[in-house]
Amino acid sequence: MTPVTIVIPSHDGADLLKGSLPSVLATEYPQVEVVVVDNGSRDGSPEMVSARFPTVRVLQMGTNAGFARACNEGARQAKSPYVAFLNNDIRVDPGWLVPLVRALDEDPSCIAAGSLVLSWDGSTVDYAGGDINFEGRAFQRGLAATWPAGGSTTRRRARSPCAARSGRPSAGSTSPTGRPTTRTSTSGGEPGSSGTPCGSCPGP
Quote the pLDDT of residue 142.
80
Going by C-alpha positions, the residue among 162, 155, 158 that lies closest to residue 106 is: 162
Q: What does pTM read for this prediction? A: 0.74
Domains and CATH numbers, the chain: 4-178 (3.90.550.10)
Quote the pLDDT of residue 178.
57
Beta-carbon count within 10 A of 144 CB: 9
Q: What is the mean pLDDT of each run of 10 residues along the chain (204 residues)?
A: 95 96 95 96 97 98 95 95 93 92 90 85 83 85 73 36 37 49 32 32 30
Q: How far, in Å, are 83, 125, 139, 171, 191 from residue 132 at the CA level?
A: 22, 19, 6, 23, 18
Give the separation between CA 65 and CA 17, rounded to whole angstroms: 19
Quote the pLDDT of residue 16.
96
Quote the pLDDT of residue 199.
29
Quote the pLDDT of residue 160.
35
The residues with which 6 forms a beta bridge, in sequence order, are: 34, 84
